[in-house]
Structure 1
Amino acid sequence: MGSPEPAYRANAGGALEVDRTFYARLTEADRVRVDAFEIPIRSGRAWTVPRGHLCRLLTVDGPQVGDLNVWNAADPRERLWAARTRQLQRAHVSTFDRLWSTLPFLRPLLTITVDTLARYGSDADGGRVHDLLGTRCDPYVNRMLTGEDADHHCHSNLVRAVLPHGLTEFDVHDVLNVFQCTGLNDEDRYFMKASPARPGDFLEFFAEVDLLCALSTCPGGDLSVPLWGPDARDPIDVCHPIGVEVYRPEPGALAGWTPPGRAAYGGMHGLRAAEGSER
């Protein structure tokens, strides 16, 4: 008996179809690197990616989980909508999947163009890589579980990273867990496994709109050491930096591409405009 069909399916030629030929061609086109830096262990950084550019996140010298937030750089009220992306794409994303934005915008913020960890697939426990199932570790849950304060969880790293860009803790949102291997166990509970990334593995994406990105190098490192529970210990020995590179493709590579517009819904949620007023 086959598995059930996904709930969210578009009509032929609809918004969920991706021009794979375009994005595959884009990865082979000439490009110029316009930015590059490393995010040290247990820290965070925010940066911009202009629309029409490529951004690469890579494991520099060993496996390391990163927690990624994404906003529209021109209007940070538009940001990654992890839950809807799980429904429109899947719970673990890879090449040609997109990260979708919140209402009322609802458009792809970025499209994944290369994922060297696609080779991992699904393991014997059902674990997969690059998940939208869970969210960032945070000091509030840590205090609840351990009774101790810790200031360098991913939530806190992201908070510090976005402050120079005029954002606050309230703007930090559910993440894409880059290089993280996760799944649901037989009790339907979230589990994390050691990252299978190797030095030089990378996830690359194309910015569909002007982006502000922020990434935390998780204090759990590659997650091979339990963070909570009776076997927990400081995993600093399995922490590594993550590299970030931004590229501008040669102009001809973008032929035929146009930035996605906002959602086309034109209604008013069942509300009526006052008589004589403009809609």
Structure 2
Amino acid sequence: MTGTLHLNAQQRELLARSLDADEADDLSALLKRAVLETARGEVSALTVPAVSGRALDWRSRLAHPVPTERELLEEFVLEPGTGKALEVRAGELVRIEQIEGAQCVDFNVFNLHDYREFFHTGRTRTLHGINPGAGDVLWSSPPRERAMMFILTDTVHCNDVVFPRCSANLYETAYGFATHTNCADIQAEAQREYGLTPDDVHDSFNLFMATSVDDGMPGIHHQSSKPGDHVELLALMDVLAVPNICGADVMKTSNFSIKPVLVQRWRAGAADLDAVPELRAYDTQRTVEQFRQPVIRQERALQRDLSYVPAFANTPIHDEAVEVQLDTETAEAFAGLWRHDLYATEGEALRDVLLAWWAAAHRA
């Protein structure tokens, strides 16, 4: 049986790299593997072929010798209704510790040397789920997508990257307050010490916040953190870290109260640094030098650039017909996989099975 796949250049490149990696002898054989493994529910675990990944030498960013044991550099109590911006150098860690227990803390992170690189909840959520904990990483926003901090210790595993920061508007529209403590305003005030504006506040890593997603809707629950419970975050680059006491006292977030927490900044010891797993660097983690427009705007009003010429990558996009051979076993297995509710043609359904298998096999 002959089938026809309609593939664009990017899709053909993807499959060609699989063939170069000896995942199959040719495209027909790769399709057979995809169909049969999918039908059996036994999808292989394969390495993504031909990427630029290499070991990230983040320790080269350290500006100080690594002590054998931790060294306490700074300690203070973060009071209700407040936040504090901290310069945390690569190889230092921030410890947020409960004093009374059950207090949510919002945590913003910026690259200390380029504030336009900042912690991104979406990237972190995609890689680590909605409740990141010990062993996970705080990632920066596209187009950089770099590891900013490593969650070294988490005694509760009660953190969130689903909910946005609470705001003044939330407390007016939902509760009728003209003025109320809220994370957006507290963050803005704390960051103002470094010249940042309210527009620079980003969605935070919500420490000690119990959440879930049920039937597509996020929910907040009571939390059970106790005095002494803590989260430790190790800086993998120089960052501005900004913890603030969540201002919610009319929600379950902090069990209907607002309480202080202890904040410490440490120079990490050798064992702390050794706990960080190997991280990878990629060519696609873009730098400012690669931007076609690297200049940060000063004016708020937008105006069209009359000299602009589009330079979109890999365009125009066109499909090409590629013939494949299906033996009887493959054709029969494919018949049970064809999503007739989605695809009217055999070629579309074959492409779906092949590319869906590829993503599952390579954990993309």
Task: Give the TM-score normalised by the residue count of structure 1.
Answer: 0.73
Q: 2:120 aligns with which of 81, 92, 102?
A: 81
Corresponding residue number in structure 1 for 2:262: 243
- Greater than 6 Å deviation, 4+ residue runs: 12-18, 255-262, 266-270
Question: Is the 1:65–1:223 contact (alpha carbons within 8 Å) kept by the matching residues of 2?
Answer: no
The count of aligned residue pairs is 237
Corresponding residue number in structure 1 for 2:340: none
Question: Is the 2:121–2:203 contact (alpha carbons within 8 Å) kept by the matching residues of 1?
Answer: yes
Asked whether 1:150 is paired with 2:179, we answer yes
Corresponding residue number in structure 2 for 1:136: 165
> CA 1:252–1:143 in structure 2 vs 1: closer, same or farther (change >3 Å)?
closer
> CA 1:44–1:16 in structure 2 vs 1: closer, same or farther (change >3 Å)?
farther
The CA deviation at 1:103 is: 2.0
Q: Matched residues in 2 for 1:131 and 1:17: separation?
A: 28
> CA 1:104–1:226 in structure 2 vs 1: closer, same or farther (change >3 Å)?
closer
Asked whether 1:64 is paired with 2:103, we answer yes
Corresponding residue number in structure 1 for 2:234: 206
For structure 1, the 5+ residue unaligned runs are 19-27, 119-128, 228-234, 274-279
Q: Matched residues in 1 for 2:248 and 2:241: separation?
A: 21
- Deviation larger for 263-272 or 205-214: 263-272
Letter paired with 1:207: A
Q: Matched residues in 1 for 2:291 and 2:84: separation?
A: 38
Q: Matched residues in 2 for 1:211 and 1:258: separation?
A: 20
Aligned-residue CA RMSD in angstroms? 3.7
Pairs within 5 Å for 1:105-116 = 105-116=144-155
What are the Cα deviations for residues 74-98 of structure 1, in whole angstroms up to 9, with x where unaligned? 1110001101111022111011100
Q: 2:143 aligns with which of 104, 110, 128?
A: 104
Which one has the bigger helix percentage? 2
- Deviation larger for 261-270 or 212-221: 261-270
Question: Is the 2:94–2:263 contact (alpha carbons within 8 Å) kept by the matching residues of 1?
Answer: yes
Task: Give the TM-score normalised by the residue count of structure 2.
Answer: 0.57
Q: 2:71 aligns with which of 22, 26, 32?
A: 32
Report the 3-state secondary structure (helix = DSSP H, G, I; strand = E; otherwise coil) of the residue aligned with 1:133: coil
Q: Matched residues in 2 for 1:144 and 1:55: separation?
A: 35
Identity of aligned residues (%): 25
Q: Matched residues in 2 for 1:147 and 1:214: separation?
A: 28
> CA 1:169–1:46 in structure 2 vs 1: closer, same or farther (change >3 Å)?
same
Q: Matched residues in 2 for 1:16 and 1:194: separation?
A: 42
Question: Is the 1:222–1:239 contact (alpha carbons within 8 Å) kept by the matching residues of 2?
Answer: no
Q: Matched residues in 2 for 1:58 and 1:167: separation?
A: 26
For structure 2, the 5+ residue unaligned runs are 1-40, 57-66, 293-309, 314-364
Question: Is the 1:64–1:241 contact (alpha carbons within 8 Å) kept by the matching residues of 2?
Answer: yes
Letter paired with 1:148: F
Question: Is the 1:55–1:244 contact (alpha carbons within 8 Å) kept by the matching residues of 2?
Answer: yes
What are the Cα deviations for residues 25-66 of structure 1, in whole angstroms up to 9, with x where unaligned? xxx951100011111012211111111111111111222001
Pairs within 5 Å for 1:126-275 = 129-185=158-214, 187-220=215-248, 223-224=251-252, 235=256, 238-250=257-269, 254=273, 263-265=282-284, 271=311
What are the Cα deviations for residues 148-203 of structure 1, in whole angstroms up to 9, with x where unaligned? 32242011100100001110101100111100101123x32121111210000000
Which one has the bigger strand percentage? 1
- Deviation larger for 250-259 or 67-76: 250-259
Letter paired with 1:200: G
Larger radius of gyration: 2
Q: Matched residues in 2 for 1:83 and 1:43: separation?
A: 26
